[in-house]
Structure 1
Amino acid sequence: MEKQNSAFRWVIFASVIFAYLIMASQRTAPGLITDQIMGDFNVTATTIGLLASIQFFVYTSLQIPMGILVDRYGPNLFLITGALLTGVGTVAYSLSTHEVVLFLARVLTGIGDATIWVSLVLILSQWFNAKEFAQLIGVAGMTGSLGFLLATVPLSAFIDSVGWRNSFFSAGVLLCLIGILLYFVLVKKPNQTFIKKREKQSERTLDLLRRIFSSRQAWALFMCHFGVVGGYIGFIGSWAVPYGMDLYGMSRFEASQLIMISLVGALIGAPLIGWVSSRLNKIKQPYVVFHIIILFCWSIFLLYKGQPPYALLIMLFFIIGFGFGSNSLTFSAVRLSFPIKESGLVSGFANTGGFLSAVLLPSIFGKILDIFQISSGNIGDGYFYGFITPILFSMIGLIGVLLLKENWKKADSY
């Protein structure tokens, strides 16, 4: 294809990756100001858990529909609109004066965020050949972790400097400007149509959905992603900073440094685990190993009554983050298990599993904290029993990866 030989494709790549970096940072950024939101709006831990979950709930519920729409009509409209919606939602969050506005702002952010991954995958497949795509999709996965990393020490320092409202307002404005940039890069410069209907599919959407939903392999991938994503993103994005502050007496800045260690683990883990899988020419075996490691790490929190020694705590956060990097193996398995014409839908289905767990964990964890804080007044007991949640989620992931079949079908080329 002509566009796959064009030097402009690297401008496309840089622009889309930058958009993903900033949008990903807004998934976990509210976790840095949990205590301030509770104080400013006088809300409970349960409400904070629901607030943290609502964006992931919207994101999750839209993954399959977005995969169908992007595949049928092209990614340009959805990615540009998504960046703008995420920006508007972030600005509204910074200006809110009531918890209802906070919820509505996170809904807008979730709708915008739901567009980025499936659009990014399709854009890269259009502009890059199969070999380049396989390499760049790994870079894209690392970018998500870089976005989470951006929402730790750098954003925490910015919040301490200018206040949480000004910092979120600035991020929202930047995202709106990115939306405008994407219009010129994706549509105006290459002279593409804003939205283009693709060729009529040979199989009806309803029949395709029915077939995918009845596939054991698809459900195994759903469970794999459920187990490896939810405990990490759900905990990091909502309760990790309060956990460090409540049980270890850390400042917000110190707690965000602890989270940064976990994110560094994810940055190292993603490319390294992918390299190991490629060298072994296997996906299931390394994925089983890392699911077991993650389950073991969460279990250690229970062994120490929710408060392991500080040195061990650092190791646990790093290893859990490193293990989270194995989530890219889900999409490697999708690519090798299903024809390319179905990989977008199946990727959305598997991604739904991951972010469903990220929706459930903050709310469940917050509810447990409220129950034990009311009944015993001991927040430590709440965190101790709260850690049962990521353990159960990790068990589901381990079951999924054990059910995974590694007799790969030959995938279509891009």
Structure 2
Amino acid sequence: MKRSHIRIPLCFNRKWVIPLSLISTISLILLLTTNQGHHKSPPSFPKSEASASTASLLKPPELPRLAYLLSGTRGDGRRLKRLLQAAYHPRNYYLLHLDLGASAAERLELARDVKSEAVVGEFGNVMVVGKANLVTYKGPTMVALTLHAVAILLKKAKWDWFINLSSEDYPLMPQDDLLHIFSYLPRDLNFLEHTSNIGWKEIQRARPIIIDPGLYHSQKSGVFWAKEKRSMPSSFKLFMGSSWVVLTRPFLEFCVWGWDNLPRTLLMYYTNILSSPEGYFHTIVCNHKDFQNTTVNHDLHYIRWDNPPQLHPMNLTLEHFNDMVQSGAPFARKFEKDDPVLDKIDKELLRRPDGRFTPGAWCAKYWGVEKDHCVLHGSPHVVKPSVSSKRLETLIVKLIDSENFRTKQCK
């Protein structure tokens, strides 16, 4: 007999897990990000107003909503489903994309698998792209995919931060922890690793001119190289970093709607630049006075590189597990398909049963081996942070400390 889904109230008082060390830095960040692009003395408030402001910080703030792009290619359907289950929360929104390298059958199977999840059907917060984009390795089509996904998510839902993950990524903590810590952050902080000291990337990324056939044809192939080289731009400064970002809705609205010419100018420039996801958003955010003081120089990923660094990060395995945990990062990459370390993350960090969603305050109870998971639902507006939230808090406090925050912004 199929059990009906029942909503039950969950009472969890977050005041006992308020990240006090994080709160102690929030007033500083609020001042640093006020009047973005300008350096003015902080305003003075009457004592009563200051006391009211402090008291409001001690109350659990409203939880944010996150919007995810989960992307993959041929053979990644099962990996995307597992990633969705690991990173799922009813408050968030998810857009799943298998590029044209995947078959129509694989794309349809992914859509059916998602639709078959009763929880997803109830909350209606997962979408699967039916008309896929062609994504060329090293080409600008990944930027095109990301902007397309952002445009869909902007149209469909209200959210606070956008996060892009590939099938090679995996979360290191439940969404309850991420939502809990992010609820104490100003909603205008953009997390992306960035620098203008691009070193060897000037010769191998910025100066070469490429043509991505994926912009013109439906068949996947490599990029074409022009014989000519370009000079470095003079009207804007190039910034580069990681392709993995956590970006705010206001900034992405600016990128998509572009109420001044900068996003369009840089979109044309990065159409012919190699590995454009490593610089497109970074260059926009750091060249506009309204956003350049909102950056946190970290991509919130644990990534391990060879020494000297190669073009790709190392595959993470069981031997890296403790370092991953201690990093405090909410995500890590890259993982081989079905690597045993993913099972260890599921068991010890996410507490996720095989083939089911990561539990949290919203998921009150699993019921045996029934297909319908989380038979009893709690409120999606309540979270139950785990010990992982303390590790994330430590990382965030370090990143927004006065000695790190301003000195590492768009330099």
TM-score calculated relative to the size of structure 2? 0.23
Instruction: Name whichever structure is richer in helix by fraction.
Output: 1
TM-score calculated relative to the size of structure 1? 0.23
Instruction: Name whichever structure is richer in strand by fraction.
Output: 2
